[in-house]
Each structure stands twice: as C-alpha cells, then as structure tokens.
Structure 1
Amino acid sequence: MQAWRTISLWMDQLDEPLDARPSLAQDIDVDVCIIGAGYTGLWTAYYLKRQAPHLRIAILEANTAGFGASGRNGGWLMGNLLGEDRLLATLSPLQRRDSIDLLHDIPDEVQRVLQREGIDCDYRKGGVIYCAARYPEQERSLRAYLDDLYRQGMNEDDYRWLTPEALAGQLRVSNAYGAIFSPHVATIQPAKLVRGLARVVEGLGVAIYENTPALDWQSGEVRSAQAKVRCQWVVPAVEGYAASLPPLGRHQLPVQSLLVATEPLPDSAWEQIGLSQGQAFSEGSRQVTYGQRTLDNRLVFGARGGYRFGGRLREDFNLTDAEIELRRYLFGELFPHLKHVRITHSWGGNLGMARRFRPHMLCDRQRGLALSGGYGGEGVGATNLGGRTLAALILGQQNVLTAQPWVHDNRPLSSLASWPPEPCRWLGYNAIIRSFVHEDRVLADPASPAWRRNLASGLADFMEGFMH
C-alpha cells in the first residue's frame, strides 16, 4: 500500500511490496493473543514460538507491521533501559552487575537472532557517542553523568570519556568539549527489522491479522470490529498507542518524537563528519537529540517533540516548517557545512512514557495479562528484552529475566504507577519542556552572563526533578 511508504524514510526504503495481510474475519481460539505487530509483540511471539512451538498465537495489528514506532524510530538499538539507575539502586553490587550485563547484551542477542533467522536490517554495532558541544555546560553535565554511571557499577569498558582529540577520531562536531563513548549500542534500519521479524514469526506459525484494530479487551478475550479472539493470554503491545486501549492509557503517556533525513551525502561531507563505523550520536543538551549515518550515507537526526492535552495521539506527521527547521538548526550547529543540505524525508511517531520514567514488564496470572512498555523512546533494544521476559513469564519460568526489578510478576495492571489527571499532565509536561528549551537558548548564546546561565540551568534542574 503506497500510503504506508510515507510513514518514514525507513518504510520508503523497503525493497518489498507493502501489501496488507488479511484481516480477522471470524472468531478464533488461541493460546496467546497479541495486540500490535511492532517490536514488543513480534519479539514476544518469536520467543514464545521458539520455546513452545505448540502454542497457538495470533497478532492483531490495527494497520500494518511497522506502522507504529517500530517503523519510525531513530534506529538506536541500545543495551540499556530508561531509568535503569533508579531501578538498580536497591540491588547489591553483584546483582547490579548481573543486571547491567543482561542489559548490555541486548544488541548482541538481537544480532544472534538476525544471524539465525537471516534478517538483514543494516545492523552495525559501532557504539554511541554522547558529545559535549555548542556550550561548555554540556561537558560539566556529561562528566557528572559519567561519575554517576561509575557509582552505579559501570566501568571504563562500559562508558569512557573521550577528549576532544579522541572524539575527533570518531565524530567531528563544531565546538567540541569531549564526549562519553559506550560500545553497547548498534544502529539499524528499523523497518527492515520489524518487517523481517513479522516474516519470521509467520514462518514459525504465528497468524498476523492486519487492518484489524482491537476495539476492546478483557480477561480471555479481544474484540475487533468483525470478530472475537478467545485466548488464555492477552498481550497488549501498543506502547505509544496505549491511550486507545483503556485503562492502559493511565500508565503510559503518548509523547511524540520527530525526525528528518538528509539526501545521501558525498564522501567529502562524511570525511568532515566521521561516523565511519555506524556509531549513533547525540549531544548533551536536554533537547533529547539523536542521530546516525545510514548505510546509504544519509544523516538521520531527531529530537523529542511534544505531548497533546488529554493524551491525544498525533496522527498527522507531516512536519511543519518550524519542526523541520528546529532539527536543521540543531544538527547545523554541530555540522555547520550541513546547514543548507537538502532534507528529503521528515516524519515522527508516538512513543510511550511510563510514570516516573520506569519501564515495566508485568504479568497478571489471574487475568491472563502480560504487558511490557513505557520504554520512553529507548524501545528498539528494550522491546527485545521485554519480549524475552514476557515469554518467560507466560511459560512460567523463573530465571535471570524474570528476577529483574522492572518485572512485576503476578501483579495487576493497577499496581503500575499512574499519571495524574489533566490538566496536571499537560501543564507539567509543557512546563518541563519549556524550561529545557529556555535553558538551551540561554546556554547557546555566548553573550549570556553567568548569572543568567546559572539561573536557566538551575530552573531546568529543578523541573527535571519532577520527571522522577
């Protein structure tokens, strides 16, 4: 279907027809019904089928596999979990290290599956560079972050400081003060991964029904417009679309992230930039930026978008000129020679933000509910961990996956923290984001006096405290 190609650069690049799979037209009985053919749903189905081939599994997808964040993200496959520092704080040093190793292994586990199943998604494990640039306060904040990581049990094999000279060997940005480098990140072509996973699970016997939105779900049953699915387990794997399935929306906030892609850049441009090993990169402001060099030599660059009152989903991702130009400004400050480069694609997506920014993997055995989400924009890798964990929980296993502090075994959905009602959510989110934008504007201006810089950073620090 041609319209699906406009979802993102990634979907536009697919060398395959995007013909819709059949919709669900009649009632069926299965063991596991998964709502959503994105990463979480597909990974869950994959690990269930690999361990228990006899299980009958159906996936209901409202559009097509990859329509949601799985086909729209920035392609960072990260070996970590949002908020892991707070989640691991209560563990002993030995337990903490075991959990850290589990997280850091995520990119390697994905690579093992890619090799086993023959999925080509432009996987390159070049690590990630968090660079301090544009203003000196970024160096101070990144060095403080690195100190926190070491206190949590990380070491220089996990995260290390790069001097400006060492940074230039990997990434050359304007006004560089240094960077943090971690090897535990890979970059991918997201749509190739989600579409490849869909084909693999179908080959294992999983039924995927597209253009079949789930209208309602309860214990043992999922209902679409045309049919019902009776099941032992329901797995809502909808992440940023949780608001469409009450009461999930109370626990996950839909936030938008917006991206642009340049035309393929010549070798001369990349000689000035670097990123020759497929590294992901970001800069150290609170704007939540992220970028990568694609296999066809484009620069893909994104930054966090907004939140709509009442948790309304954004469905139109035809970015405005202002949204595009903000991202051009941000990458142009890092790479001045790209300020006027042609942007060929712009898009965005909805992601799910958990309360207190703590992802969760939950299993309610009484109701037959298994849920993983709240990845906060870091779900490309976390969904793999979530899928493995949900499979283990559904199969009744007790192992290193199910023993983690982000796992809520045999707990009801209501045990998850809820977001406050409106207008508190909208007011709070926008107040925090505006403080971040104000801070960035002040710090990026070399003429800003010290008192104003300190005031802007202090306010942003204070507002950021409400996120936790």
Structure 2
Amino acid sequence: MPSFWLSTLGPIEPRPALPGDRSADVAIVGGGYTGLWTAYYLSRVAPELSVVVLESRFCGFGASGRNGGWASGLFPVSEAKLARRYGADRAAAMHSALAGAVDEVGRAAAEEGIDCHYAKGGTISLVRSAAQFRRARNAPGFLPAREAREICGATGVLGGVYSPDCAALHPARLVRGLAEAAERRGVTIHEDTTVRSIARGRVVTDRGVVTAGTVVRALEGYTAQLDGHRRQLAPVYSLMIATEPLPQSFWDRVGLARRETFTDERHMIIYGQRTADDRLAFGGRGAPYHFGSRIEPRYDRVPAVFDSLRDTLEQMFGIRPEIAARWGGPLGIPRDWMPSVGLADGIAWAGGYVGDGVAAANLAGRTLADLIRGAESDLTSLPWVGHRSRRWEPEPIRWLGINAALRATTLRDSLERVR
C-alpha cells in the first residue's frame, strides 16, 4: 500500500528503465534521499561527471516516501559515546553537522522550488511518567511541565526535552522534487530497474550492466536484497497512520503552533507531526523483524500495530480520531546502530540511519560528493566517515535477537506504566 504522503501526489509514472548496457562516471544504486542528494550535489560541484541513478520502482518508493517527515539533527549514537571513541571535538562536529543539515534541506528545497511543506519548529520529547521524568530531568533542553504543555498540550505532561534542530516536512514531495532537481542539472535517472549485484566498476541489473568509475550503494533498508549484503543492515519495519484533518478547536488545545514534531520518553519509539493540512501523522516501531531479512508488501500492514498507534493518540490527546491512511516500510539498522558513509576500492556507501535519515541523508550526500571527487573537507573528517559496522549474526540468531529486543522494549514500557 502506498503511504499517505505518496497518495497525495496522485498517480506516479516511473521514468524509463535502463535501456541496456551503458557506462557512467558514477552509478548510484537507490533512488531515495541518499542516492538523490549524492547525485544532486555531484551535479553542482562536479558537473563534468556523468551520474546515473538506478531505482527498482520509482524515486521515493522506499523509506524516503514513507517516513514521519522529521528532518532532525538526531543521531542514534549519543554525543557522549561518540566522544569516548572519537574525542569530544569530533563528536561535537558530528552533531553540529547534522543540525546544519536540517537547515540545508530547507535551503536547498527553497532554492530548487520544492514545496515540501518545510517548517522548522523544532522537536519536543514529552515526559509523561515518573520514570520518564527521572531519565530526562537532567537532559539538555529540559523544560518544566508548563512550558512543555505550551508547545504540545498532551495529557499527563510532567515536562519535556526540546531541541530546535528539527523541521517537519512532506517527505514524498521532497524526494520527488529532489529527483526533478537532479535531472534538471544533468543527472540521468532510470526507474523500474532492479540491481542484482554490485562490484568495483560494475552494476548488474535486470535491464543491463552499468560500468562506472565509482559505484554508490544507497539502499538503506533494502540493502539486504542485494546479493552478498543480507547481513549488512537489518530491515526493521516502522508503521504509521494519518488522521483526517482535525478542527481548529483541537489545535487550540494541543498547540504545535509552529508544527513542532513530537514524541515522548518511552522506550519504544513513537513519532508524530502536525501536517500542513492539520492532520496528525503518527508512527512507531513494534512491528516484527522477518526471518532472513525478508521484505514483502504485506509486512507494511500490521493491524495490531495500527490499533496501538491509534490507542496511543487517544491516550496522549484525549481523542479517538478518524484514520485516513495506514502504511509502513522498512528502515536500515546496523549491528552497532552507527550510521556510516564511506568510499573504498571504487565502491561508496551511506546509510544505517536507524530511522533518522531525512537530514542525515542530506549530510551523507554532500559527504559522498566530496569523497568521490577526492576533496578533503570538514565533512570527510566526521566520525561516521569510513566506519564499518560488523555484520549481523546469521539466522536464526538474528531473528531471535532482534525480536527479543523488540519484546523487551515493549515490556519495559509496560512495567513502567504499572509501577
């Protein structure tokens, strides 16, 4: 099923498939944010390079057209943990670069005339239980209950943690507009072209072979479908719902006046935004990981998870909203939860964003453009550059471990509510 975001764009006609064997300076595998930002910035800083993007369905079919619409400065590895491994200066640079990427997404969208409903209102993580309060009270950006409720008037708010480094946007408008912007600058995009395997200087597809000086792997949650990469990133599903437009009386009570994105301090991740047309778009984890890293359309729909998301909205805001759309899709999780960007032996890669990829993919695209050109910059010295996560365990250990962790996370939240 298409996401709510994609459904608002109307029918999507795929671009022509790869017509046969061809060559290029750079071949990018994946037509989502990572691949398209890489192509876009290469076209700006190295217009002499021929760049080809290969996409199995259409640009934005995957997570880039399905996500929660948070362009955030969040990184799945804490700054303290990065500092222990890479030093305080490099850790701070990583988080500063991600915060800057939030602004760069908005700047680039405005420059290219992409109306992606970009609104930089920041993000708030609500504190709604005593256990959550104990965890969050010393966090940077902590707000007392009154100030937190002024931003997001949910039920039972005891406080909140606010960051200005986040923008709400319409993700499908962004990815489709980005594809058009890259094409205007000379990038060739072939959709309806499935990549079977990659190697140095060579991409094998179901439509022909592309030879290229540099091959870029930009498949995120779909990486496991590529020959030889099944254990590189685990595809874990995140599901979403979108309500019908809500009345002004609701927003007068709840707020989110600047379209701040919101979550709370529970362990199982939830995420929401107020859309430009006054809906709640709300999602969360909890869907199972599927044996062998399988990805199938039917996994996009888990009725129990959709019901849980609706119940959570009712608990948070005191309403039982009409649901306009339900959808989901896989995101990519590395074994150590550390996203990475790199280039070695003619093959570049970026991904493993653990669900926070809207702004991170922009940063990755700019970084890959520098790496491919051989340019040293502040971006190429960031700690995620060249990082290699160890592979996930073989099955059935992978299936048992990931699903056990999901169950344990749900249990922790349940115990906190009871206590």
What TM-score comes out, normalization by structure 2 length? Answer: 0.96
**Secondary structure of 2:298's partner?**
coil
Q: CA deviation at 1:179?
A: 0.4
Correspondence for 2:304: 322
2:382 matched to which residue of 1?
Answer: 404
2: CA distance, partners of 1:352 / 1:267: 37
Question: How far does the alpha carbon of each residue in 1:161-192 deviate from its partner, in whole angstroms, 9 at most, with x for none?
Answer: 11110111111111111000000011110000
1:418-465 deviation digits (Å, cap 9, x = unpaired): 1111111111112211111112222223xx4xxxxxxxxxxxxxxxxx
2:83 and 2:25 map into 1 onto residues whose CA distance is: 34
Per the alignment, residue 140 of structure 1 pairs with: 134
Residue 261 of structure 2 corresponds to residue 280 of structure 1 = yes
Residue 262 to residue 224, structure 1, CA distance change in 2 (3 Å)? same
The answer for the alignment partner of 1:389 in structure 2 is: 367
1:63 Cα deviation after fit: 0.3
Mapped contact 2:94–2:383 kept (Cα < 8 A): no
In structure 2, the partner of 1:427 is: 400
Residue identity in the other structure for 2:365? G
The residue type equivalent to 2:21 in the other structure is D
Which of the residues 111, 115, 118 maps onto 1:120? Answer: 115
Name which of 173, 179, 185 aligns with 1:204: 185
CA RMSD across the alignment: 1.5
- Of the three residues 319, 326, 330, the one matched with 1:350 is 330
Separation (CA, whole Å) in 2 of partners of 1:330 and 1:292: 14
Give distance in 1, aligned partners of 2:201 and 2:166.
38
Who is 2:163 aligned against?
Answer: 182
Pick aligned residue for 1:222 from 191, 203, 206: 203
CA distance 1:328–1:17, change in 2 (3 Å): closer
Q: Deviations over 1:385-439 (max 9, x none)?
A: 1111111111001111110111118xxxxx5411111111111112211111112
Matches within 5 A, 1:51-450: 51-85=45-79, 86-133=81-128, 135-143=129-137, 146=139, 159-304=140-285, 305-317=287-299, 319-336=301-318, 338=319, 340-364=320-344, 366=345, 368-408=346-386, 415-445=388-418, 448=419
- Counterparts of 2:95 and 2:268, CA distance in 1: 26
Q: Kindly provide the CA deviation profile for residues 265-292 of structure 1, in whole angstroms up to 9, marking residues without a partner as x.
A: 0001111211010100001111100000
* Structure 2 counterpart SS, 1:87: helix
Greater shift, 67-76 or 354-363, is seen at: 354-363
> Which stretch of the first structure deviates more once superposed, 94-103 or 344-353?
94-103
2:207 and 2:22 map into 1 onto residues whose CA distance is 11
**Count of matched residue positions in the alignment of Structure 1 and Structure 2:** 417
Tell me if the contact between 1:256 and 1:314 (Cα under 8 Å) persists in the aligned partners: no
Matches of 1:195 and 1:114 in 2, distance apart?
11
Contact preservation (8 Å) 1:317, 1:347: no
Q: CA deviation at 1:370?
A: 0.4
Kindly tell me: are residues 21 and 189 of structure 1, through their superposed partners in 2, closer, same or farther at Cα, counting changes over 3 Å?
A: same
Checking the alignment, whether the CA contact within 8 Å between 1:314 and 1:350 is kept in structure 2 is no
**Closer/same/farther in 2, CA of residues 318 and 30 from structure 1, 3 Å limit:** closer
- C-alpha displacement at 1:143, in angstroms? 2.6
1:41 aligns with 2:23: no
CA distance in 2, matches of 1:81, 1:393: 21
Flag structure 2 segments of 5+ consecutive residues without an equivalent.
Answer: none
Stretches (4+) displaced over 3 A: 90-99
Q: Secondary structure at the match of 2:392?
A: coil
Q: Deviations over 1:322-380 (max 9, x none)?
A: 221110111211111x2x2110100001100011100111211x2x1000011001111
Match of 1:9 in 2: 4
Identity over the aligned pairs, expressed in percent? 40
Residues 287/232 of structure 1: CA separation in 2 closer, same or farther (3 Å cut): same
Structure-1-length-normalised TM-score = 0.86
Q: Is the 8 A contact 2:239 2:300 kept in 1?
A: no
Does the CA-based 8 Å contact 1:88-1:405 persist in structure 2?
Answer: no
Q: Secondary structure of the residue that 1:223 maps to in structure 2?
A: strand
Q: Equivalents in 1 of 2:119, 2:158: separation in Å? A: 26
Mean CA deviation greater in 111-120 or 311-320:
311-320
- CA distance in structure 1 between the partners assigned to 2:77 and 2:87 by the alignment: 17
- Residues 236 and 91 of structure 1, relative CA distance in 2, 3 Å threshold: closer
Distance across 1 between alignment mates of 2:225 and 2:23:
24
